[in-house]
Amino acid sequence: MDVRPLAAPAEVPLRNLADNGGVGRVRSLLLLALTAALLAFGVGALAPAGAGAKANLRAKIGWGPIKDRRAAKKVQITGHEVKPQNDSENHTVPTKAELEYFRANSDMPYARYVTGHYKGTTDDIIEWAAYKWGLPEDVLRAVAVTESWWDMDMLGDAGDSFGIFQVRRPYHCCLPFMRDSTAFNADYYGGIIRAYFDGEQDWLNNPDVAPDNGSRYKPGDLWGSVGAWYSGRWHTAANEGYVGKVKYNLRNRTWATHEFFDDSQ
């Protein structure tokens, strides 16, 4: 998915509008407006933060995650697993009791939407989470490269961070499924990045909690949201270094290079 500004549809070039008179011109303008609206708010699109939300961090952006099954239908199934060591975790989903425990103990704003209910290859799971949360697939792929080289067995932060997106305790809930389920790990990451992007984490503007932000927290900032996952701060120097690594992996599509593939293949 692309987060660049929308362009006019190729089948309705702007230069042709001057050739249409009266009703024809109105119809063309309506078609442009409708097409732009569908592109902006369609399935999996990253809807930009509105001016009202920027003025009030508590305002909703007017978006919600799509259903698990609907996101699954959007996935372009790869059928090839580049990280076979993830097979068990890729086919494990949280039980109903585990999800109830998670929602009772997590303060993540979108916890009620996180399910981890998807099975597939590691790449399919990353793509599923991206579609579900309206985030660019390749950004999530690049983050997972940076965090874990797509290895669900990865342990970081002295054994406190788990899985392909390195979900860290005690800041995020919950074991064992954030460690044992790739889909839950990715679903949770997508949900919290979306919460940052939507302006739901306004504690970031509390100087007692986050005193060393590089700038004021605001919604509509995708790279700020990615950096906040790294440090729990907003646009610090450390964040920019981390985001730089993600952008490097995004630019080079590291997940598609020969050296990324498992040595056993």
DSSP one-letter string for 135-181: --HHHHHHHHHHHHTT-TT-EETTTTEETTTTEETTTS--TTHHHH-
pLDDT in tens, the chain (265 residues): 323 222 222 222 222 222 333 434 433 443 344 334 333 333 334 443 333 433 443 344 445 689 999 999 999 998 899 999 999 999 999 999 999 999 999 999 999 999 999 999 999 999 999 999 989 999 999 999 999 999 999 988 788 899 999 998 888 999 899 999 999 999 999 999 999 998 999 999 988 888 889 999 999 899 999 999 999 999 999 999 999 999 999 999 999 998 898 544 4
Asked whether residue 82 is assigned to any structural domain, the reply reads: yes
**Claim to verify: residue 163 and residue 198 sit in the same structural domain:** yes
Distances in whole angstroms, Cα of residue 247 to Cα of each of 32, 96, 100, 164: 33, 36, 36, 17
**Claim to verify: residue 10 and residue 75 sit in the same structural domain:** no
Q: Quote the CA–CA distance of 167 and 156 in Å, as a whole number.
A: 9
**Claim to verify: residue 232 and residue 105 sit in the same structural domain:** yes
Q: What is the pLDDT of residue 16?
A: 27
Phi-psi region of 114 (alpha: psi -120 to 50; beta: other; left: phi over 0): beta
CATH number of the domain to which 254 belongs: 1.10.530
**Claim to verify: residue 200 and residue 86 sit in the same structural domain:** yes
Residue range(s) defining the domain that contains residue 11: 1-41
Asked whether residue 233 is assigned to any structural domain, the reply reads: yes
Report the length, in residues, of the chain.
265
Taking the model in full, what pTM does it have?
A: 0.77
- Total count of domains within the chain: 2
Q: Peptide bond before 170: cis, by omega within 30 degrees of 0?
A: yes
Question: How many helices (H) and strands (E) would you count in the chain?
Answer: 11, 3
